[in-house]
């Protein structure tokens, strides 16, 4: 038994106990080479079906999820995922249709994809959408490859550099590097915007484009976005929008109208698919006139006779994903869009922004935001105001003791001791108040009893892990044996 009273299946094991009865073989035994025949019994636990069910059900309750508690993980948009999405994604016509079905037998599925392409294009003000990419980062790669092919097809081959603001998500420089560009950092100004003067210095004919997140990862709307975009266009570059923060502006601002050439959406964030466990997701990519012929294909088009069919854009960068992307995520997103409607989506964004500002106003005297501005759907504070020797990481771990998932920490990189809070639109005011109150209590603890924070969390199955190795070399043994 470990310190939380969880026994391993081996500890529960009792010789001869069985959870299954394996049916008697009704085919003749095959001859097997002696070297394949086991000499010693395998070390397997012998437990009843009930033992097994209780064991795994109990382990499953150790997972933290949005269905159990508040999950203010900045930039990740951990909002509640309505169950109606799950109902539609499980409908047999969607869930059980084989990807090799001929188009004529999959018209309903193709229609859903076609409608989703149209809705996403409309919401963000673009001409066409490809549903191929499987995640946000995959959409980024798609968009950057489109920009690359655009320049190449015009014989403009000297553009080897791609601009990335210093507040950007780590996937942004990684994506441009994967596409063969050199990432060039653009600094932020003292209001948390892209520094326009610096941008003007950097823009020349070596620049292929810029990747911009708006609102940016500081939770701030780029106040000079029109000037930023026209500056890059003026030197011949194109503008990529990282649309992971679309939850802040749905129905309010259309990035296509602002002049973005291409953008991805994180359907699993903004359009409510459960995420956080590593997938599946979807990162459709949308393009303006400038780039619509380069989209990854196939897209779903409509023929003159009204039937739906796959079409490849004229200068497509090609296919990025087997079959048609993660179709179940597309069904969830389409369900979400239809069930909220245009006004509902707008209200969701407005509530997300309101919730973040409410929370910020309740804590900013003890955890001031790094830039003193009205925020969008998230805000970034700094743990520099915590007690002597106490870091943001300690505050994050202490929150676990109070039953809250920590916010994102140490990102964006330009804010020291960063704490990035995204409450989303789906939480009640009571939850926001409880979270604010807890943050205030912890800030006070950091001054009065710093040791409480240093060792936190105190009551979990595991305490502080090596966060790098926990991902790269997970210990996948039965939990009671750890
Ligand atoms: C989540 C996120 C991404 C990457 O999206 P994935 O779907 O995780 O690949 C990129 N940029 C920002 C700002 C994000 O929050």
Instruction: Please give the share of the chain, as a percent, with pLDDT higher than 70.
Output: 98
Read out DSSP for 213-230?
A: ESS-TTS---TTHHHHHH
Give the binding-site residues of ligand 1, using a 6 Å CB cut-off: 75, 135-137, 169, 171, 213, 217, 242, 244-245, 266, 281, 283
Q: How far apart are CA 404 and CA 73, in angstroms?
A: 10
**Residue 44 Cα, ligand 1 centroid: separation in angstroms?**
41
Give residue 2's pLDDT.
62
pLDDT digits (tens, 9 = 90+) for 185-207: 999 999 999 999 999 999 999 99
| Residue 55 in this model has a pLDDT that exceeds 60 | yes
**Residue 76 Cα, ligand 1 centroid: separation in angstroms?**
7
End-to-end CA distance of the chain: 10
Q: Which of 75, 136, 269, 281 to mutate to test the pocket of ligand 1 (most atoms within 8 A of CB)?
A: 136
Mean pLDDT of 345-353: 98
Question: Which pLDDT band holds residue 482 (cuts at 50, 70, 90)?
Answer: very low
Under DSSP, the state recorded for 44 is -
Q: Which of 211, 217, 266, 282 to mutate to test the pocket of ligand 1 (most atoms within 8 A of CB)?
A: 266
423 Cβ contact partners less than 8 Å away, ≥ 6 residues apart: 70, 72, 352, 355, 356, 359, 378, 432, 435
Q: State the closest ligand 1 atom to the C-alpha of 75, by its place in the atom list counted from 1.
A: 15
CA 106 to chain centre: 29
* Topology of domain 83-339, CATH: 3.40.640
Comparing 3-12, 150-159, 164-173, 455-464, which segment has the lowest mean pLDDT? 3-12
List, in sequence order, the alpha helices (H) in 214-363.
Answer: 225-234, 255-258, 267-270, 327-363
Whole-number average pLDDT of the chain: 95
Residue whose CA is at the smallest distance from ligand 1 atom 8? 136
**Residue 244 Cα, ligand 1 centroid: separation in angstroms?**
5
Q: State the closest ligand 1 atom to the C-alpha of 281, by its place in the atom list counted from 1.
A: 7
Mean pLDDT of 86-112: 96
pLDDT digits (tens, 9 = 90+) for 262-308: 999 999 999 999 998 777 999 999 999 999 999 999 999 999 999 99
Residue whose CA is at the smallest distance from ligand 1 atom 3? 136
Q: How far apart are CA 382 and CA 364, in angstroms?
A: 10
**Residue 360 Cα, ligand 1 centroid: separation in angstroms?**
23
**Residue 153 Cα, ligand 1 centroid: separation in angstroms?**
29
Give residue 466's pLDDT.
87
Question: Which pLDDT band holds residue 253 (cuts at 50, 70, 90)?
Answer: very high
| Residue 475 in this model has a pLDDT that exceeds 80 | no
Residue whose CA is at the smallest distance from ligand 1 atom 14? 244
Under DSSP, the state recorded for 8 is P
List, in sequence order, the alpha helices (H) in 369-464.
Answer: 392-401, 429-448, 450-454
Q: How far apart are CA 186 and CA 195, in angstroms?
A: 7
| Residue 478 in this model has a pLDDT that exceeds 90 | no
**Residue 432 Cα, ligand 1 centroid: separation in angstroms?**
24
| Residue 50 in this model has a pLDDT that exceeds 60 | yes
Give residue 3's pLDDT.
57
**Residue 405 Cα, ligand 1 centroid: separation in angstroms?**
19
Q: State the closest ligand 1 atom to the C-alpha of 242, by its place in the atom list counted from 1.
A: 11
Q: Which of 140, 173, 220, 244 to mutate to test the pocket of ligand 1 (most atoms within 8 A of CB)?
A: 244
Residue 324's nearest CA partner among 136, 134, 143 is 134
Give residue 41's pLDDT.
87
Phi-psi region at 419: left, alpha or beta (left = phi > 0; alpha = psi -120 to 50) = beta
pLDDT digits (tens, 9 = 90+) for 355-366: 999 999 999 999
| Residue 161 in this model has a pLDDT that exceeds 70 | yes
Residue whose CA is at the smallest distance from ligand 1 atom 4? 136
Comparing 110-119, 245-254, 394-403, 473-482, which segment has the lowest mean pLDDT? 473-482
CATH class of this structure's domain 343-471 = alpha beta
- Cis before 457? omega within 30: yes
Under DSSP, the state recorded for 295 is -
**83-339 and 343-471 share one CATH topology?**
no
Q: State the closest ligand 1 atom to the C-alpha of 213, by its place in the atom list counted from 1.
A: 13
**Residue 379 Cα, ligand 1 centroid: separation in angstroms?**
17
pTM of the shown model: 0.92
Express the helix, strand and coil content of the chain in percent, nearest 5 each.
40, 10, 50
**Residue 169 Cα, ligand 1 centroid: separation in angstroms?**
7
Residue 192's nearest CA partner among 376, 1, 25 is 376
Residue whose CA is at the smallest distance from ligand 1 atom 15? 75
Q: What residue ranges do the domains of the chain occupy?
A: 9-60, 83-339, 343-471
Give residue 368's pLDDT.
94
pLDDT digits (tens, 9 = 90+) for 56-84: 888 888 888 999 999 999 999 999 999 99
């Amino acid at each position: 038994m470990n310190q939380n009273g969880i026994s391993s299946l081996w500890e529960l094991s009792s010789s001869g106990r069985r959870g299954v009865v394996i049916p008697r073989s009704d085919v003749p035994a095959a001859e097997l080479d002696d070297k394949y025949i086991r000499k010693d019994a395998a070390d397997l636990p012998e437990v009843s079906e009930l033992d097994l069910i209780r064991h795994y059900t109990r382990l499953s309750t150790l997972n933290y999820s949005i269905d159990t508690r508040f999950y203010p993980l900045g930039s990740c948009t951990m909002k509640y995922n309505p169950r109606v999405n799950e109902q539609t994604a499980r409908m047999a016509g969607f869930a059980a249709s084989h990807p090799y079905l001929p188009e004529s037998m999959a018209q309903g599925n193709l229609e859903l994809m076609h409608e989703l392409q149209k809705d996403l294009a409309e919401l963000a003000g673009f001409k066409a959408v490809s549903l191929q990419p499987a995640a946000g980062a995959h959409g980024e790669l798609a968009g950057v490859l489109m920009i690359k092919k655009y320049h190449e097809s015009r014989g403009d081959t000297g553009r080897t550099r791609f601009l990335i603001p210093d507040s950007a998500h780590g996937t942004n420089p990684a994506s441009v590097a994967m596409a063969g560009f050199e990432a060039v950092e653009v600094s932020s100004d003292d209001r948390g915007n892209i520094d326009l003067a610096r941008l003007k210095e950097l823009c020349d004919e070596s620049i292929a484009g810029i990747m911009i997140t708006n609102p940016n990862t500081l939770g701030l709307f780029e106040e000079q976005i029109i000037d930023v975009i026209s500056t890059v266009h003026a030197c011949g570059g194109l503008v990529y929008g990282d649309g992971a923060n679309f939850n802040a502006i749905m129905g309010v601002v259309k990035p296509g109208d602002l002049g973005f050439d291409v953008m991805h959406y994180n359907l699993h964030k903004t359009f409510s698919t459960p995420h956080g466990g590593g997938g599946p997701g979807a990162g459709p990519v949308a393009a303006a006139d400038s780039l619509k012929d380069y989209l990854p294909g196939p897209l779903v088009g409509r023929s003159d006779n009204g039937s739906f069919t796959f079409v490849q854009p004229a200068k497509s960068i090609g296919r990025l994903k087997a079959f048609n992307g993660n179709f179940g995520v597309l069904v969830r997103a389409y369900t979400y869009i239809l069930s909220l409607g245009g006004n509902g989506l707008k209200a969701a964004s407005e509530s997300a922004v309101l919730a973040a500002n409410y929370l910020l106003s309740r804590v900013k005297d003890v955890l001031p935001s790094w830039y003193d501005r009205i925020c969008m759907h998230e805000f970034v504070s700094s743990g520099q105001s915590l007690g002597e020797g106490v870091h943001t990481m300690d505050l994050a771990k202490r929150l676990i003791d109070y039953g809250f998932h920590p916010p994102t920490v140490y990102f964006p990189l330009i804010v020291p001791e960063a704490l990035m809070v995204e409450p989303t639109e789906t939480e009640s005011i009571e939850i926001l108040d409880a979270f604010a109150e807890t943050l205030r209590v912890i800030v006070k603890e950091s001054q009065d009893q710093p040791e409480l924070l240093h060792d936190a969390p105190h009551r979990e199955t595991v305490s502080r892990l090596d966060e790098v190795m926990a991902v790269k070399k997970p210990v996948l043994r039965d939990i009671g044996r750890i």
